[in-house]
Structure 1
Amino acid sequence: MYAVVGATGNTGRVVARTLLAADEDVLVIGRSRERLKPLVSEGAEAFAGSVEDAQSMSIAFSGALAAYCLLPVRYDAEDVPGFLRSVGVALSAGIHEAGVQHVVFLSSIGAQHETGTGLIVALREQEQRFAKLSGVSVLSLRAGWFMENFRGQIRSIRETGTIATPLRGDLPIPMISAHDIGRYAAGRLASRDFEGAATQELLGPRDVTLEEAVRVLGAAIGKADLRYVQRSFEEFEETAREAGMSASAVRVLSEMYRAFNDGRVASEEGRSAESTTETTIGDYAEEFAKIYDAVGK
């Protein structure tokens, strides 16, 4: 059996469905049993519980050959790093107590740095936490910037005709589809061909600037005049607070964006055949257009 944490999310859902399509036994883990129902209807077993609870995670992971793990973020948490740390400790304890021998963990480019990368620091800490577990082999997937992040910009597109973030518009970024991450993770879970503590970067097909990505997305949704705007950090932080993010969340997000702009959140190993995935920004734009149209109805 394979256990999948965050099974209703962008990557976890793909991991679960890929393994189910290969006739594997899959346990999907999430906070809400209701949200897990679509995967149950496809053949998965479900476990509803808190990823902050080590005992629950030990029960969930019991009997699993391997597990897909990630750290879900709560942007309203008073202490975001503390919340992520508590989740990481619970996952590690659950893996250890259940005797799971292989873990694929969703990390990020930039996790080679100990400090100064905001949210990504928690991912580095979790890589190290898993690496200390005796008898557990862990593969940390250091993925690039998710193309799916553009979904959060649909309101801005409709209201202002822009996509706006604090990131530099001319900064080449390794953009990757969550679908590609999920398929890759499922393959490595099934093969369990890694030992000890290993990392693997996943960088998408090529680096893309936000200015280029916005042009491609604009063409796909019939808005050739769609523009990218680099927000000031002050404006970003004010908007984030108004949206309900905690001061802690705003702080770690700002630090992460600054680290992107400074070139710290980048590939450590350089692009290779193994780290290059298939889905292009043009491919993703077709999917984005369908979502954009559906949201507008």
Structure 2
Amino acid sequence: MKIVVTGSLGNISKPLATELVQQGHAVTVISSKPEKKPEIEVLGANAAIGSVDDAAFLTSTLTGADAAYLMMPPSFAEPDSRAYHQRIGQRYAEAIQQSGIQRVVQLSSWGAHRSAGTGGILGTHDVEEILAKLPGIALTHLRPTSFYYNMFSFIGMIKAQGVIGVNYDGNTRVAFVHSLDIANAAAAELTAPTALGRHVRYAASDERTANEVAQVLGAAIGRPGLRWVSLTNEQIQENLLRHGLPAARASEIVDIYTSIGNGTLGEDYEQHKPGLGRVKLEDFAREFAAAYAAAV
């Protein structure tokens, strides 16, 4: 198969491209950075250098491909996150229509089924809806749960205050996922026969309470007494602003945490749980310990 992968050599796209190449597929990786071309080619993939904000470039790259993995490149410079998602979603939609590609796997998120109350995930919901309107394609919304890597943001709090905390309590059970398990799910979706229409697949690696997260990470970094504490929305907002995040983005993150705590983010996931992936919390804890040791 000829498969196009967006996301350059990111945490998901690199292992995804690697797996697809190893399976014998002809893979093209889209990157906005020309300096990534040699590294992409070392993987055995072709490099397409350009921007996903350029519909003509996308159309040219997708033309002749059998399948495409489409993700939203993060852009904290964008003043309006939701408008950014809508714009890139429209670029993808135009390129899909113009190129004639029929198999699309979109990296979405748990909570994307909701049209309100999920903060920064609302833009992902919008992209789902934009792509779902396209006729004649087999579309899968790949919805990962909370990324393990988001826990790296706790390192500063642990070092400064000796606790982990957001605005939900320690008994809250959360589904987490590793990028390798997302890549495996994406590869399976891209290469499997799929009927035309709209499909949803969740990706998760482990389910643990917040208290268990604190215990496992604390043990890994040599702080066995590490506690999870429940903070107010205002405390979370202030902490994010202190670390340089724009106010609008900070509010979006607060809303995401709130929706985890009240259960709305995971309500559809609970009804359509996938088989859990291979990377458990204890496995990720080793990565977390390395990052914690390297942080100043």
* TM-score, structure 2 normalization: 0.91
Question: 1:139 is aligned with what amino acid?
Answer: T
**1:47 — aligned with what?**
48
Question: 1:241 is aligned with what amino acid?
Answer: L
The Cα of 1:289 is off from its aligned counterpart by 2.7
The Cα of 1:76 is off from its aligned counterpart by 3.5
SS in 1 for 2:69: strand
CA separation in 1, counterparts of 2:30 and 2:168? 33
**2:32 — aligned with what?**
31
CA separation in 1, counterparts of 2:217 and 2:29? 32
Question: 2:51 is aligned with what amino acid?
Answer: S
Question: 1:75 is aligned with what amino acid?
Answer: F
Question: 1:60 is aligned with what amino acid?
Answer: T
**Inter-CA distance 208–39: structure 2 relative to 1 (3 Å threshold):** same
Question: 1:62 is aligned with what amino acid?
Answer: T
Q: Deviations over 1:165-200 (max 9, x none)?
A: 334322101111111011111111112434311111
RMSD across aligned C-alpha pairs, in angstroms?
A: 2.2
Question: 2:68 is aligned with what amino acid?
Answer: A
Question: 1:154 is aligned with what amino acid?
Answer: I
CA separation in 2, counterparts of 1:213 and 1:51? 36
**1:286 — aligned with what?**
286
CA separation in 1, counterparts of 2:258 and 2:35? 38
Q: Deviations over 1:223-282 (max 9, x none)?
A: 213332333221222232333322321232222222111110014153667442222111
Q: Deviations over 1:78-134 (max 9, x none)?
A: 111111111111112122212111111111221221211112222222112111112
Is 2:233 the partner of 1:225?
no
Percent of aligned positions that are identical: 28
CA contact (8 A) 2:202 2:273 kept: no
CA contact (8 A) 1:27 1:47 kept: yes
**1:127 — aligned with what?**
128
SS in 2 for 1:120: helix
CA separation in 2, counterparts of 1:26 and 1:137? 19
CA separation in 1, counterparts of 2:202 and 2:191? 19
Question: 1:265 is aligned with what amino acid?
Answer: L
SS in 2 for 1:10: coil
CA separation in 2, counterparts of 1:245 and 1:77? 12
**1:266 — aligned with what?**
266
CA separation in 1, counterparts of 2:178 and 2:61? 28
Is 2:190 the partner of 1:162?
no
**1:247 — aligned with what?**
247
CA separation in 2, counterparts of 1:92 and 1:244? 33
Moved over 4 A (4+): none
**1:21 — aligned with what?**
22
CA separation in 1, counterparts of 2:255 and 2:22? 39
The Cα of 1:203 is off from its aligned counterpart by 3.0
CA separation in 2, counterparts of 1:124 and 1:152? 24
SS in 2 for 1:268: helix
CA separation in 1, counterparts of 2:116 and 2:81? 15
**Inter-CA distance 257–274: structure 2 relative to 1 (3 Å threshold):** closer
CA contact (8 A) 1:148 1:177 kept: yes
The Cα of 1:296 is off from its aligned counterpart by 4.7
**Inter-CA distance 157–48: structure 2 relative to 1 (3 Å threshold):** farther
The Cα of 1:41 is off from its aligned counterpart by 1.3
Aligned counterparts, 1:73-222, within 5 A: 73-205=74-206, 207-222=207-222
CA separation in 1, counterparts of 2:37 and 2:57? 17
**Inter-CA distance 170–19: structure 2 relative to 1 (3 Å threshold):** same
Number of aligned residue pairs? 295
Give the gaps of 5 or more residues in structure 2. none
**Inter-CA distance 152–48: structure 2 relative to 1 (3 Å threshold):** farther
Q: Deviations over 1:130-180 (max 9, x none)?
A: 111122111111221111211233333334333333343221011111110
CA separation in 1, counterparts of 2:202 and 2:275? 5
Question: 1:131 is aligned with what amino acid?
Answer: A
CA contact (8 A) 1:176 1:203 kept: yes
* TM-score, structure 1 normalization: 0.90
CA contact (8 A) 2:136 2:196 kept: no
